Amino acid sequence: MSSSPSGDRPLQLSPEVEQARAVGLPVVALESTIIAHGLPRPRNLDVARQLEDIVREEGACPATIAVLDGVARIGLSSGELVRVAEDPTIRKLGQRDLPVAQAFGASGATTVSATAWLAAAAGVRVFSTGGLGGVHRGFAESFDESADLGVLSQTRVTVVSAGVKSILDVPATLERLETLSVTVVGYRTASFPGFYLHSSGRPVDWTVDTPAEVAEVMRRQDTLGVRSALLVANPVPEAEQLDPELHDRALAEALAAAEREDVTGQRLTPYLLAALVRDTEGAAMEANLAAVRGNVRLGARIAVAYGS
């Protein structure tokens, strides 16, 4: 690998984010893994632009985060967004990969863990995504748990998501979030969302009804010096969720196929997600995108409320 050209610039704000900071406009972080690795081309670029436009419509500034040539970019130009969407060599970077990527001038799309950490490092308080990682099924045998949870336990950022990916062990993930002192609130719901589904069937302890209420919780975190994240669990609308029976059937078939083919470790999540999209004839992807759009809109409204 070649040496990094980034020098002593570990973070670089885009001109749009710099201008937003100068005039006091709230900023919302967006991840880039969904662009580079989560959606087919060319739809991925259209979705990336749409999500940024939703943030702007709500009176905030989008900051899609990625690492390009060893530099963490907090906000991307139009050309950089195209590069992330179209370059097949773009890696997937978690928080643990950031020092290596910077040291060797690598380029990559950021996962939830990397995006949350970089957003907080850049002073961006709100981050909208689709679904979090969590504790995997069969954890007692594999000890497989997403790095998202550990990072959120140490990072004061408000994450708006549709729960955790439904291929995971949702009850175990909620237990881990409690153990790690990550505050979870349901947005206009008393049930934890199920990513593709409106509800996972698991309760949440706290419900908030407005962006202003979320902003007030964030201010109390500031006052108390809380260092962990606030997770705002925002369910996909029932009218846009994946049919629950279809979801359960497709997931059971995907899990059985993964076991037969001995798909484990880092290969398992993308395998299961791809199988769900394939076996639901794309309906799972549409439910995912509906959730992401709703989370981005809510995240922008929370950022505006927090900044007012």
pLDDT, residue 8, reads 59
Statement: residue 303 has pLDDT above 80: yes
Residue in 204, 189, 172 with CA at minimum distance from that of residue 291: 189
3: pLDDT strictly greater than 60: no
| Residue 142: per-residue pLDDT | 54
Ordered by start, the domain boundaries in the chain are 1-124, 126-308
Whole-number mean pLDDT of the chain? 92
Which residues does residue 208 pair with via DSSP β-bridges, in sequence order?
Answer: 187
Catalytic choice (16, 52, 145, 165)? 165
Asked if residue 237 has pLDDT above 90, the reply is yes
- Rank 16-20, 134-138, 172-176 by mean pLDDT and report only the highest: 16-20
The residue with tokens 């964030």 is 218
pLDDT digits (tens, 9 = 90+) for 210-221: 999 999 999 999
Of 74, 152, 75, 145, which is closest to residue 113 (Cα–Cα)? 152
Note if 92 is an active site residue. no
Which residue in the block uniquely carries the two structure tokens 């880092």? 266
Strand boundaries in 144-296, DSSP class E? 158-161, 183-187, 191-194, 197-203, 207-208, 230-233
Give me the amino acid identity at 156: R
Query: Identity (one letter) of the amino acid at 301?
Result: R
Whether residue 293 is predicted with pLDDT greater than 50 in this model: the reply is yes
The CATH-assigned architecture of domain 126-308 is: 3-Layer(aba) Sandwich (3.40)
Name the band, by pLDDT with cuts 50, 70 and 90, for residue 167.
Answer: confident
Q: Which of 16, 31, 52, 58 is catalytic?
A: 31
0.75 cut: is pTM over it? yes
Rounded CA-CA distance 76/79 in Å is 8
Q: Does 3.40.1790.10 match the CATH number of domain 1-124?
A: yes
The amino acid sitting at 8 is D
Owner of token pair 């690598």: 106
- Active-site residue 31, yes or no? yes
Task: Give the CA-trace dihedral at 249, 250, 255, 256, to 10 degrees.
Answer: 70
Burial (CB count <10 Å: 0-12, 13-18, 19+), residue 137:
middle
293 three-class SS:
helix
**Segment among 152-166, 220-234, 236-250, 252-266 with least mean pLDDT:** 252-266
Q: Do domains 1-124 and 126-308 have the same CATH topology?
A: yes
Question: What pLDDT, on the 0 to 100 scale, is given for residue 19?
Answer: 97
pLDDT at 201: 93
Contacts of 227 (CB under 8 A, 6+ apart): 154, 155, 156
Torsion of CA 302, 303, 304, 308, to 10 degrees: 100
Question: pLDDT confidence of 161, banded at 50, 70, 90?
Answer: very high
For range 256-282, the mean pLDDT: 86
